[in-house]
Structure 1
Amino acid sequence: MNKPLRIGTRDSELAMWQAETVQAQLARLGVDSVLHPVKSTGDIILDKPLYELGITGIFTKTLDIALINGEIDIAVHSMKDVPTALPKGMVQTAVLEREVTNDVLIHKGDHFLLDENGKATIATGSLRRKAQWLHRYKNHTVTDLRGNVNTRLIKLIENDWQGAIFAQAGLKRIKLLPKDAMELDWMVPAPAQGAMVIVAMQENQEAVNASSQLNHLPSEQATTIEREFLRTLEGGCTAPIGALATIKDQTVYFKGCLHALDGSKELVIEKETTLAQIANFGKRCAQEILDNGGKELMQNIKDEQNNPVN
């Protein structure tokens, strides 16, 4: 490009790390770039749970507008924050090589977990994490926790909660992962958790061509399956949905789940296929969930969200 590629990003420490990583990888390809940090609505409104804000792509909308207005050339996102349907004219150009996918518990002593009948308060702003935690620990209380990674860690220190749940990838990237963090290997992550994605306007061919060189095919294939599963289940509704596709040799292993908001019900699917047969694999897995109680569960979730109990 004649002019530096303008990279749009949120202004949190983690988002800036991600954008700087993209900038460094572009530089290795001989592509000059500059960073354009912005603050998203999701970073500004911190006193309400995300699902109550009713905005699709709350962490990406500000950058979407900047792309559409031609203020930036590409945007870098945590892929799990990106809606499965991009705005008209916008395309996914690259999925970078994925980091670890699992969630971790940052805790103040893990003794409370040894007693399944014990009481504890765990913090998270994620419906998925809340539902999966309550399904496993029925006597625990889950409280809402919002803000960027740094803000959430400070809130955990300041409150009398026993722990808070984070994506391991985010903490690892900005070197804030405690040595005693508990890996939650039983918790199914958010679709595309641990992955970074680049988007651009399709008409901006220079930006598309430059950034598409950073695509990591196995990460793209896995996240495509997971997001297909999410899109098929969602139906325009925010729900506790987990999905993880892993690729080994030429085989794809998939695990997906849907929970009731309070964790009282769980639907799980585990399937495998070959790389040659991954077209619509995520959709097929989601359809199996829907056909085995998922339709009714999704309707219950929508009803609860439309008619919240005060």
Structure 2
Amino acid sequence: MNKVIRIGTRDSELALWQAKTVQNALEKAGHKTQLLPVKSTGDLNLNQPLYEMGITGIFTKTLDVAMINGDIDIAVHSMKDVPTALPKGIVEAAVLKRANTKDILVHKGLDFLEKEGTIATGSLRRKAQWLNKYPAHRVVDLRGNVNTRMKKLEDNAWNGAIFAAAGLERIALKPENFIDLNWMIPAPAQGAMLVVAIEQDDFTRKALALLNHKESEICVHVEREFLKVLEGGCTAPIGALATIEKDLIYFKAALFSLDGKQKIGIEKTVALNEFKNLGKRCAEEVLNNGGSKLMQQIKAEINSQD
């Protein structure tokens, strides 16, 4: 069967870069492909924070519908945007080798760090961690694709804005005036690309299996399991990072209050062959250590803002 694999993607520069990366890999393996960019609801509404829209997976929903309708065969996502529960009939087909996991601060000078300042981000996780470290600062909402956010930073009197390093590196938009935020725990699956396919499409799933990077897959699954058990979705300030070194897996994660004043963190190192349920065990420990009460508080605060 010489099927043309139709690749669905959002139409931002970064999303297209990711989709073309998958397209090139499939074509190199001898497959025929077609790229089909579509607009997502998340890209169309830039004035409202994600969590206020009341749904998780806003950047993946449009592509899910296109896939279920049979308009596309696969979709390429930044994995951190993908809900921990996929729609019925859609499955993970490949996790590509992970890129840089760090958050970075793009700034206009660093003299503000030890006094008052204003930082921009649309992420509750980044906001909470920034306020945890710099409680005297103000954090303002920033939405849009990476190009839009860079332009907004340029046009406003903010001291800086927080970005995922991987996104800026992929489209060569990383400026000179940045610092790595080594202390900030990234979003679960940050820096990873996920390709999803229809569960019953054996041809396409077999083609994508060759693109899967096993170490990256293990790490992001531990992180997303942690997120799922905490019931974070896109609505809670949760950071998680798993890394593999030789035969060990290191895991670091934390849940924060929205104002950054509370932090419940955890760090674990286990043998690589014991990675299954690591995220779940760590999440349960966080929940039992005050996380359950904090999650209820976060949900109540978010609901009161609606």
Instruction: Please indicate the TM-score interval, normalised by the length of the shorter structure.
Output: over 0.9
The answer on whether the counterparts of 2:108 and 2:177 sit within 8 Å (CA) in structure 1 is no
The Cα shift of 1:180 comes to: 2.6
Local SS of the residue matching 2:252: strand
Q: Aligned AA for 2:7?
A: I
The Cα shift of 1:3 comes to: 2.9
For 1:93 and 1:43, how far apart are their aligned partners in 2?
25
Per-residue CA distance 1:132-167 (angstroms, 9 max, x = gap)? 000000000000000000000000000110000000
For 1:81 and 1:237, how far apart are their aligned partners in 2?
8
2:290 corresponds to: 293
2:80 corresponds to: 80
Q: Aligned AA for 1:250?
A: D
Closer, same or farther in 2 for the Cα pair 1:266/1:42, shift >3 Å?
same
TM-score under structure 2 normalisation?
A: 0.98
Local SS of the residue matching 2:80: helix
2:121 corresponds to: 124
1:271 matches 2:271: no
Q: Runs in 1 of length 4+ with deviation above 3 angstroms?
A: none
The answer on whether the counterparts of 1:8 and 1:37 sit within 8 Å (CA) in structure 2 is yes
1:228 matches 2:229: no
Q: Aligned AA for 2:227?
A: L
For 2:233 and 2:38, how far apart are their aligned partners in 1?
26
1:137 matches 2:134: yes
Q: Which moved more, 1:163-172 or 1:46-55?
A: 46-55
The answer on whether the counterparts of 2:165 and 2:174 sit within 8 Å (CA) in structure 1 is yes
The answer on whether the counterparts of 1:9 and 1:16 sit within 8 Å (CA) in structure 2 is yes
2:60 corresponds to: 60
Q: Aligned AA for 2:214?
A: L
The Cα shift of 1:308 comes to: 2.5
1:245 corresponds to: 242
Local SS of the residue matching 2:112: helix
The answer on whether the counterparts of 1:124 and 1:130 sit within 8 Å (CA) in structure 2 is yes
1:15 corresponds to: 15
The Cα shift of 1:188 comes to: 0.1
Per-residue CA distance 1:240-286 (angstroms, 9 max, x = gap)? 00000000001000000000001010111000111111110000000
2:304 corresponds to: 307
1:46 corresponds to: 46
The Cα shift of 1:179 comes to: 2.0
Structure 1 unmatched ranges of 5 or more: none
1:216 corresponds to: 213
Local SS of the residue matching 1:254: strand
Local SS of the residue matching 2:298: helix
Q: Aligned AA for 1:281?
A: L
Closer, same or farther in 2 for the Cα pair 1:259/1:54, shift >3 Å?
same
For 1:90 and 1:202, how far apart are their aligned partners in 2?
5
The Cα shift of 1:237 comes to: 7.0
Q: Identity of paired residues, percent?
A: 62
Local SS of the residue matching 2:66: helix
The answer on whether the counterparts of 1:252 and 1:275 sit within 8 Å (CA) in structure 2 is yes
The Cα shift of 1:200 comes to: 0.6
Structure 1 residues 139-154: aligned runs within 5 Å: 139-154=136-151
For 2:133 and 2:232, how far apart are their aligned partners in 1?
26
For 1:260 and 1:70, how far apart are their aligned partners in 2?
41
Q: Aligned AA for 1:22?
A: V
The answer on whether the counterparts of 2:250 and 2:268 sit within 8 Å (CA) in structure 1 is yes
Local SS of the residue matching 2:163: strand
The answer on whether the counterparts of 2:254 and 2:265 sit within 8 Å (CA) in structure 1 is yes
The answer on whether the counterparts of 1:254 and 1:270 sit within 8 Å (CA) in structure 2 is yes
For 1:105 and 1:305, how far apart are their aligned partners in 2?
26
Per-residue CA distance 1:113-149 (angstroms, 9 max, x = gap)? 1x2xx11010000000000000000000000000000
TM-score under structure 1 normalisation?
A: 0.97
1:189 corresponds to: 186
Structure 2 unmatched ranges of 5 or more: none
Selected match of 2:170 from 147, 151, 173: 173
The answer on whether the counterparts of 1:6 and 1:36 sit within 8 Å (CA) in structure 2 is yes
For 1:235 and 1:20, how far apart are their aligned partners in 2?
30
The answer on whether the counterparts of 2:118 and 2:140 sit within 8 Å (CA) in structure 1 is yes
Local SS of the residue matching 1:307: helix
The answer on whether the counterparts of 1:237 and 1:302 sit within 8 Å (CA) in structure 2 is no
For 1:234 and 1:152, how far apart are their aligned partners in 2?
28
For 2:234 and 2:170, how far apart are their aligned partners in 1?
30
Q: Aligned AA for 1:47?
A: N
CA RMSD of superposed structures (Å):
1.1
The answer on whether the counterparts of 1:73 and 1:207 sit within 8 Å (CA) in structure 2 is yes
The Cα shift of 1:236 comes to: 6.0
